Chains A and B, each alone.
Chain A
Amino acid sequence: MKPLKHIQSSFVPLPVENIDTDQIIPARFLKSTSREGFGKNLFRDWRYFNNDEAQPKTDFVLNKPEYKGSILVAGKNFGSGSSREHAAWAILDYGFYAVVSSFFADIFKNNALNNGVVPVQVSEDFLDKIFNLENGSTLSIDIENQSITIDATGESEKFDINNYKKTCLMNGYDDIDYLLNIKEDIINFEKAIEGLK
């Protein structure tokens, strides 16, 4: 995982609520045995007619060249449904390092954090403000201070992330590194449980 401390970027707005992981990446694209290459199928069925890259749905935001940036901003309850981590891989592979929404599904939130994509949960009001910004406006996400700022106006909001995960994101550590380091504790735990029997 690459360390991630600060993101300043324009954003791609997707003001749709309840975006489930089947929309983010449909199941028929989960056949790969590697983590790479899912970005081209991100929002596949919202992007193309008849699953055909030659027939883009021109009104979909990812097909509008004027919308770009490394932050995706989406309606509330983002990432519901399937536990497929492929959803987080697709978002990262496409080039997003943060998703901003007013509510996230639990499993998606974990999956995103485990891949260095930061889920930034903001209030409904703040989300509306972002959606109302002119295209090309930039947002700044400061992981250490847990804040997101609309650069043009200076309006800012804090977001939640626990200290452990913050440290992981900022240093590029992952949970497996942590768990491998406490293997002794885990073995002792197993012995204690065995002893109880």
Chain B
Amino acid sequence: MGKTLFQKIWDKHLVKTIPDGPDVLYIDKHFIHEVTSPQAFSGIEKRGQPLFRPEKTIATADHNVPTINQHLPIREELSRIQVQRLVENCKRHHVELYGLGHPFQGIVHIIGPELGITQPGMTIVCGDSHTSTHGAFGSIAFGIGTSEVEMVFATQCILQNRPKVMRINIDGQLNKGVVSKDIILYIISKISASGATGYFVEYAGSTIRALSMEARMTICNMSIEMGARGGMIAPDEITYEYMKNRLFAPKGIEWEDKLKEWKKLPSDEDAVFDKELSFNAEDIEPMITYGTNPGLGITINSHVPTLESIADEGERNNMAKALKYMGLQPGQALKGMPVQNVFIGSCTNSRIEDLRLIASIIKGKKKNENVKVMVVPGSHQVREQIIAEGLDVIFNEAGFEIRQAGCSACLGMNEDKIPAGEYCISTSNRNFEGRQGPGARTLLASPLTAAAAAITGVVTDIRELLN
């Protein structure tokens, strides 16, 4: 019997299996950031252990950094201490740090791929659930807790139960105005925020094959929002084309050798998956969420569900709670509803392609006067690129505020927050209560739908602007 992409990589990294216990998995690349690493550094120090393979760990500061005036000391004391601690820890333990002020600084899941660090066939972990992003290259990439960060520091391995593997096939041509963010919001709305718990997901099918690497990253990024440990896509010519000549990608003979290995990775034709789902691209329309988990999404022109339509009592109570928090009425339409904020950023949608797409829609237009629009590039390099391409002029003329790289208002941790009670159309990944700040109301959508709302000031069907 053939093997899946997942099995091939997992088996190659299996150090040993503990009987009636987890597997010991070897980790090729470990990304760290300021929030989930300090306790792991103290942990190994307390045990008197060195960092076992420091050259396999890469650090950046992203979650807890301001996105303006990054050259100045961080104003908030606890944030400043946390970022400073990362600098000290990396220095002491010989870890490469792309911290504030470094030309490679940025959101951890943006910089790995952009620098060519993320490669097919690797095992990649990070103390952040959106590590699944890196799976777009055909790697096993997943988020871990701080104790597991400490395990990787101490031994370059973690203990992990082998997950089941699900394949999600999407075939067909995407409709106008529909992008990869809509695909993943659509899938999550169909299978729920816990529909893939216990699984690793491989995305396949003609729709996925036709997507760019950046679009694929958006899909893999949100795998965790349906409970999956990670998402992955088999590498192909699009992958290699994206990677070639990136700073840390293999070069010359090494590239050729690696390429031969990578081409053996895709799932064998007779490989068996624990579960398989299929969707048609033609059925997908621009999506938006209305609730407080990413599974509560609808197509842009449909209505919020009525409570009577939900049979299960627990789910009905949950829905009532979510709608109350969101300030929405059961059965209401979202289209035409005023929004006060548009957030363009996060590890889901802050790559150059996202920003080019938005610029192409808003060129020559101005934002609605009642909306505050933030554009937070995923990395310093993305920011430099938008300036090099002149996109900054388009954003500035439209009244969009361009910030510096970081996680920003995706998670309500740093200075960037959405005010309580206000609505925000966000290109990020989570609409949990308080996620973008206490009381903030998040509507997740694609960069296109976010750009449309920025211009009109209300929830808008992007297809009406494209006509």
B314-A179 in contact (CB<8A) = no
A110-B148 in contact (CB<8A) = yes
B438-A45 in contact (CB<8A) = yes
A50 → B minimal CB distance (Å): 8
Choose among B43, B227, B318 the residue that contacts A105 (Cβ–Cβ < 8 A): B227
B129-A83 in contact (CB<8A) = yes
A136–B203 Cα distance when bound, in Å, is: 48
Interface membership of B20, Cβ < 8 A: yes
The residues in A between 160 and 179 inclusive whose CB is less than 8 angstroms from any CB of B are 162-165, 174-176, 178-179
A83–B27 Cα distance when bound, in Å, is: 18
A81–B314 Cα distance when bound, in Å, is: 20
A176-B147 in contact (CB<8A) = yes
A111-B147 in contact given A77-B227, A182-B24 (Cβ < 8 Å): yes
Choose the segment among B34-42, B174-182, B231-239, B297-305 that binds chain A (4+ C-beta atoms closer than 8 Å): B34-42
Choose the segment among B106-114, B211-219, B379-387, B429-437 that binds chain A (4+ C-beta atoms closer than 8 Å): B429-437
Interface membership of B49, Cβ < 8 A: yes
Which one of B15, B145, B146, B158 has the greatest number of beta carbons of chain A within 10 Å? B145
A180-B49 in contact given A22-B430, A81-B432, A83-B145 (Cβ < 8 Å): yes
Interface membership of A17, Cβ < 8 A: yes
* Chain A residues in 8 Å Cβ range of B155: 176, 179-180, 183, 186
Choose among B26, B39, B159 the residue that contacts A33 (Cβ–Cβ < 8 A): B39
Interface membership of B169, Cβ < 8 A: no
CB closest chain-B residue, reference A33: B38
A189-B15 in contact given A33-B85, A85-B147 (Cβ < 8 Å): yes
Interface membership of A95, Cβ < 8 A: no
A26-B151 in contact (CB<8A) = no
Interface membership of A135, Cβ < 8 A: no
B36-A84 in contact (CB<8A) = yes
A106-B15 in contact given A16-B321, A183-B155 (Cβ < 8 Å): no
A189–B12 Cα distance when bound, in Å, is: 10
A122–B49 Cα distance when bound, in Å, is: 39
Interface membership of B280, Cβ < 8 A: no
* Chain A residues in 8 Å Cβ range of B85: 33
CB closest chain-A residue, reference B14: A189
B230 → A minimal CB distance (Å): 10
A170 → B minimal CB distance (Å): 14
A33-B194 in contact (CB<8A) = no
The residues in B between 110 and 152 inclusive whose CB is less than 8 angstroms from any CB of A are 127-129, 143-148, 150-151
The residues in B between 382 and 421 inclusive whose CB is less than 8 angstroms from any CB of A are 411-413
Choose the segment among B75-83, B94-102, B341-349, B369-377 that binds chain A (4+ C-beta atoms closer than 8 Å): B75-83
Choose among A51, A80, A86, A165 the residue that contacts B21 (Cβ–Cβ < 8 A): A165
A114-B438 in contact (CB<8A) = no
Which one of B155, B158, B193 has the greatest number of beta carbons of chain A within 10 Å? B155
Interface membership of A133, Cβ < 8 A: no
A26-B412 in contact (CB<8A) = yes
A32–B147 Cα distance when bound, in Å, is: 16
- 1/0 contact string of A86-113 vs chain B (CB within 8 Å): 1010000000000000010111001100
A164-B20 in contact (CB<8A) = yes
* Chain A residues in 8 Å Cβ range of B42: 33-34
B198-A106 in contact (CB<8A) = yes
Interface membership of B266, Cβ < 8 A: no
* Chain A residues in 8 Å Cβ range of B194: 18, 76-77, 80, 103, 105
- 1/0 contact string of A138-171 vs chain B (CB within 8 Å): 0000000000000000000000001111000000
A176-B197 in contact (CB<8A) = no
A22-B413 in contact (CB<8A) = no
Interface positions of B (Cβ within 8 A of A):
15-16, 18-22, 24, 26, 35-36, 38-39, 42-43, 47, 49, 52, 63-64, 78-79, 81-82, 85, 127-129, 143-148, 150-151, 154-161, 163, 193-194, 197-198, 224, 227, 229, 293, 314-315, 317-318, 321, 411-413, 430, 432-435, 438
Other A-B pairs beyond A178-B159, A186-B26, 17, CB < 8 Å: A17-B315, A27-B412, A28-B413, A30-B413, A81-B432, A85-B145, A103-B194, A103-B197, A106-B229, A163-B20, A163-B21, A164-B159, A175-B148, A176-B47, A179-B154, A179-B159, A186-B156
- A sample of 30 inter-chain contacts (CB < 8 A) reads A15-B314, A17-B317, A18-B318, A22-B432, A22-B433, A23-B432, A28-B412, A30-B35, A30-B63, A31-B64, A31-B78, A31-B81, A33-B82, A34-B42, A80-B293, A81-B432, A83-B143, A83-B145, A85-B36, A85-B127, A110-B144, A111-B146, A162-B21, A163-B19, A163-B21, A175-B151, A179-B155, A179-B159, A180-B154, A189-B15
